[in-house]
Each structure stands twice: as structure tokens, then as C-alpha cells.
Amino acid sequence: MLNFLTRRLVAGLLTLFVSLFLMYVLVDIAIDPLADLRESTAPNKQQLIAARIELLDLNTNVVVRFLQWCGGVLHGDFGIAWKTGESVSDLVAHAIGSTLQLVTAATFLSLIVGVVVGIVSALRQYSAFDYVIIFLSFLLYSLPSFWVAVLLKQWAAIGFNNFLRDPWIAWPTLIAVALIAGLLWSLAIGGRAARRWQVFGIASAATFGMFAYLQLTDWWLEPKIGPILLLVMGAGTAFAFAAVFAGLHNRRALWASLTTVAVGFIAYFPMQTVFAMDIFSPDGNGASWFVLLLAIVAVAVGFLIGRLYGGPDWGVSARTSAAVAFVMAALIFVDQVMQVWGPYSRALGGRPIPTFGDRTPGLGGNYWVTVLDSFTHLVLPTATLVLIAFAAYTRYSRSSMLEVMSQDYIRTARAKGLPEREVVVRHGFRNTLIPLATIVPIDVITLIGGAVITEAVFSRPGMGQLFVKSLEEAQVDPVMAYLLITAGLAIIANIVADIIYAVIDPRIRLDA
């Protein structure tokens, strides 16, 4: 492993140096920091040009300037944006923070939804559900991101904000939505006709009941999860995770998960007092780190509960209950954020879903208001990236799953009498991830480089916008800082992809 990392890092650094040098030369050729002065009619035009040449050291050879820039980088100095006088480090720090928010949410959601839907589609090959997913994935994959972004701004933001003026959905519409949801679930679950009809009825009734509850309780104006929904959603999560990771026949894993839900339900009430502490006030510091600490504690408690249930395969129970604990902690966190929705919405004139920027200027409020404001600004750009990436991940995971499920070792596992759940989850799913291990890290780094079009449509001050704006303003230092970060992360992503590939596939040896 050490030899592999050493070789790859040395090769990566050499590649980074050469690519940065080429880009520095190309950027120097492409931009003209004197363009505005050449067209100026000022009487002291020549003096202004001379002053800028001296400021930017344009009389020095480009190779020397590149080496001087590299020397500054080695000392932590990325230069100055000469038009505004701002430090490039400060510009990049704000831009990459905004981009990381977007990338984290979009990658997490698109990967989970895309992989799950792709695997289910593969397991239902040539079914109606499979054809629907294939059609949707190719449709979304072919759509330009700017067009999706504009449609979301019109219908998901402006339309939803208008809906909040009179948040009432006609009952026939709710019935139609419930029937469509029931149909999709019945197609996804599959099985004999009687089973499909059973799933259709249960899913339709559950969907209609959920929307009826939201409508009759004015949930759209004052949304919250509350203890009852927390208990119901937690129990559903426990059964779902136990069924997938351990099988419902594994009673220890199931009871460990349900016990974790009960502990989370009890913890909900004292957590309301914890979330009212001064650390979450407008003047408080370290709230995000405190929330992260609480999440780690929640996962540790879930793992401990699974361990205490013991059994010969206690690891399965521990991992399952830890995953359930994470979901319960996330639901409690989301519930707390939802509790400030009413004041937040009223502060924005009843139009809480913004269509541009990454924060509301001069909003004020405590930590929870700040988090909610970040969430609402993330909704549209995240949905845009998720719809496009979801289509790609669905296609990758479906084709990979189909290939894996036709292998000899899958037939052997079935011949040994293993349950189908274990064949799919333990043998099929793990090997399905091998191609994604190469794709996902590169996709993440590509997004960190800036979703240029998406950020432009929603006016998010991220890395992509920083790059475009710096090029337009002929500022070489911010452009080179952007290229250094994206190129460096791309090299790291390739190394991480190789390591993940070796972890997933035991046939790969890094030191070979």
C-alpha cells in the first residue's frame, strides 16, 4: 500500500506541476488585463497602463511569473484578486464552501436513489417498472441542465410559493397521486398478481393517508415531524433496514433496530431542551460541531444496542441498529429545523423557496434559521443535479447488477440454498458497486470544480462562478487557484477510486 501511494503521489505531483504550467501559459495568452485601459479615453491613459503593468508584473517572463506564483503557493499565498484587492484564499474559501454544500447534498441523494432504483430495475428486468425506469433515466440523462433548472425555478419554486398562499390540494388530485404511487410500488415489488394488488392497495392507502394528514393539519404552513411521525417513520425504517441488511427472520437485528427507535423516541423530548441551549443562539459558536458530535453519539449508541443483543452474528445487528440510529438522529434534527419554518416563511413574505443565491442577506436569527435558510437555497440547484446524476447512476447500477446476477457464483449461491435477499445484498450488491467505485469519486471532484451552468442559473457564488468571473475580469491568480484545487482533487480522486476498488474487489492488489 505504501509503495502504491508513494508512486501515485509522485506521479500525481509531476502531472499537477506540468498541467498548472501549461494552464498558466494558456491563461496568460487568453486574457488581457489591459483591455479596458486600451479602450480608455482618459488623458493619463499611458500612466494607468504603466501602473497596471507594474502592479501585475507583466514585463516579467511568463515562466518566471509562474515560478513566483508556485513559490507563493508553497508559502500559503494564493495571490490577490487585483480588481477588488481581496485575498484569493478568502475568495476560494467562500466559493468552495458554497460548492461543497451543493455537492454533498446532490451526490448523497443521487447516489442512494440512483443505485437503489437501478438495482430494483435490474431485478425486475423486462417488467413494466424496468421499462418505466429506462425511459425516465434516458429522458433525464438527455435533458440539458439549464433547461431543468429553469423549469424547477418556474414550477418548484414560484409554483410552490404561490401554492402556499392557499395550501389546499383537491381531493381527486390526492386520490390520483395515491393511485399512481400504489401502481409504482406494485410494479417495483413485483410478484404474483395477488401480491401486486395487495401492495397496490397498501401503498395507495398509505400515500393518501399521509397527504390527507398533511392537508388537514395545515402541515404546509407549519411543517413538523413531531413525536408521533418520528415513531412511525422510525419503525418503518427499522423494519426496512432489518429486512435488507439482516432479513426479518433475524429477530435480534429486528429487535435491536426497534429498541433503537424506542430510545430515539424517548431522547426526542430532552433534545428539545438541548437544542434551546445558548450554543444555538445567534451569538453561539460551534453549533455545527456540536450537532456532529451528537450524531456520532447517536450512531455509537445504536451500535452498542445491537452489540448488547449479542448472538453469533452480532455485527449484523450492530450495523443495522447503528444505521437506524443515524436516521432517527437525522429526523430529530430535521424536526428541529422545521420548527422555525413559520417565522422564516413570514420573514420572507410567505415565499420561502428562493430562486437565487446561497443565503438571504440580512436575515439574522439563530442557528436553526441559518440552517433552514441554507436548506431552502439548496433545494433547487440540488434537485437539478440530482435529476441529472440520478439518471446516470441508475443506468450504471442497472447494467452492473444485470452483469453480476448472471455470474456463476450467483448461481452457486442460489444452488447452496441461500435466501434470495442474501444472494442479492451480500453477493450481488457488493460486486455491483465495483464500477461505481471508479465513477463516483471522479463525479464528486467534477462537481467540486463547480457546476458552472447550475450555479449560473441559480446565482450561487461557487467554484464554477468564481472561475468564470475571474476569467471575464482577467484575474489570473483566482483562475490558477481554481485550477490548482480542481486538478489536485482530481488526482486524489483517482487514487481514492483505486483504493476503494481494491477494498471492494479482493482480486485487486495495490502492491502487485
Q: Which residues pair with 81 in a beta bridge?
A: 86
Q: What is the largest CA-CA distance in the chain?
A: 90
The distance of Cα 158 from the centroid of its chain, to the nearest Å, equals 23
| pTM exceeds cut of 0.85 | no
CA distance 209 to 459: 38
The distance of Cα 312 from the centroid of its chain, to the nearest Å, equals 36
The distance of Cα 437 from the centroid of its chain, to the nearest Å, equals 16
Q: Which three cell numbers stand for residue 39?
A: 479602450
CA distance 49 to 28: 17
DSSP string, 297-354: HHHHHHHHHHHHH--TTHHHHHHHHHHHHHHHHHHHHHHHHHTTHHHHHHHTTT--S-
- Give 257's DSSP letter: H
Quick check: 52 and 473 in contact, CB under 8 A?
Answer: no
- Give 276's DSSP letter: T
User: Residue ranges of the domains in the chain?
Assistant: 2-90+462-504, 168-217, 225-338
Q: Which residues pair with 86 in a beta bridge?
A: 81
Each residue's pLDDT expressed in tens, for the chain with a length of 512 residues: 677 778 888 888 898 899 899 988 988 888 888 877 877 777 887 888 888 888 888 888 888 989 988 888 888 888 888 887 888 888 888 888 888 888 888 888 888 888 889 988 898 888 888 899 999 988 888 888 888 888 888 888 888 889 888 888 899 999 999 999 999 888 888 778 888 899 999 999 999 998 898 888 888 888 888 898 899 899 999 998 888 888 878 888 899 999 999 999 999 999 999 998 888 887 767 888 899 999 999 999 999 999 998 777 788 899 999 999 999 999 999 999 999 998 898 888 888 888 888 888 888 788 899 999 999 998 998 888 888 888 888 988 899 899 888 888 888 888 888 888 888 887 888 788 877 877 777 777 766 665 678 888 888 888 888 888 888 888 888 888 888 888 888 888 888 877 877 777 667 766 65
Residues near 21 by Cβ (< 8 Å), separated by ≥ 6? 66
Residues near 83 by Cβ (< 8 Å), separated by ≥ 6? 473, 475
Quick check: 267 and 335 in contact, CB under 8 A?
Answer: no
Q: Which three cell numbers stand for residue 467?
A: 472561475
CA distance 164 to 284: 32
Scan for cell 440454498, then name that residue.
417
CA distance 347 to 359: 14
